[in-house]
A = this chain, B = another copy of it.
Amino acid sequence: MAYIGIDLGGTNIAVGAVNEEGQILSQVSVPTGASRPYQELVKDMAQCVKDAAEKAGLTLSDIKSVGIGIPGVAEEATGVVFNCTNLGWFNVPLRQELQKYIDLPVYIDNDANVAALAESYAGVSKNCRSSVMLTLGTGVGGGIVIDGKPWSGAHGRGGEIGHMTLIPDGVPCTCGNNGCVERYCSATALIRMGRQECFAFEGSQMLVRTGGDPEKLNARIVIDCAKEGDACATRVFNDFVRFLAMAINNITAFFDPEMIVLGGGVSGAGDFLLKAVEALLPRYQMFKALPIPKVAIAKLGNEAGIIGAAMLGKSK
């Protein structure tokens, strides 16, 4: 028996068959074509499900369930996608629509929750009873896993780590609040803070790498320059790490998971980021003598979307 996982992104729909151990057996993908009516997207998803099963040498009778990770929020009971901004979806009956083509249980969850679940079944947090994943990308996503199940809260509001307030009355956020974690711990934050340094101090290597145009700055340049010891980039990186350590400490003080997993583009900084965070975390922790949650870099990369979506079925 196997599971099908669907990673519904703004650019591609990636679909795979996944075994009980969370290993991908086959993979297919089609462009999302996000501007089309949702019915057409779902028809493509259904075809991909069949193709992924066939490619793995399976029929639909070998498949236990289909899971979908979406860049938005869905209601567990009904399978209705409440909100999926990138696709322009509001109140889309995704489960019901997919089941017109595929007679299998369909589970839907947020892509950050799905990534956290993938890591807990087949990645760095395997065998942890509880874990919290932060995806440090354009924004900051969050996923909570308790006893092998994703936790989205009682009203689907949970895991929104990016929109916990870090700095009251701080940088305005797209969500309407100010000072959200996302504004200080994302790739976008690294770029914003890097640009400020470029404007303030002309000598930064960051400016050299962008050919003198701060608009071309990206998170990788900031991190690379910090690794190489550029003073401005180091200042930005140290601020970033301090904000991230504060955000992690708030999660630990409240929830104290067994492991904190860092994913998303910024986590590509690997050990450089991890060591800096680990060095700072103990400073914020109460009960200095108690162990601190282990912090680790996610290891499944892009495959987390398919694996985690598939494991939604296993987690039920």
Contact = CB atoms under 8 A, between A and B. Distances in A.
Per DSSP, chain A at the interface is loop
Nearest to A174: B286
A156 interface: yes
A290 B73 contact: yes
A129 B155 contact: no
Contact of A255 (B130, B165, B255): B255
B258 A290 contact: no
A291 B155 contact: yes
Contacts of A252: 153, 157
Given A146-B146, A168-B246, A249-B165, A154 B289 contact: no
Identical chains in the assembly:
2
Contacts of A291: 155
Interface residues of A, number: 49
A108 to B, nearest CB: 15
A287 B254 contact: no
B251 A254 contact: yes
Nearest to A176: B286
A256 B287 contact: no
A286 B163 contact: yes
Contact of A254 (B159, B167, B290): B159
Interface of A: 73, 82-83, 128-130, 142, 144, 146, 151-161, 163-168, 175-177, 246, 249-258, 284-287, 289-293
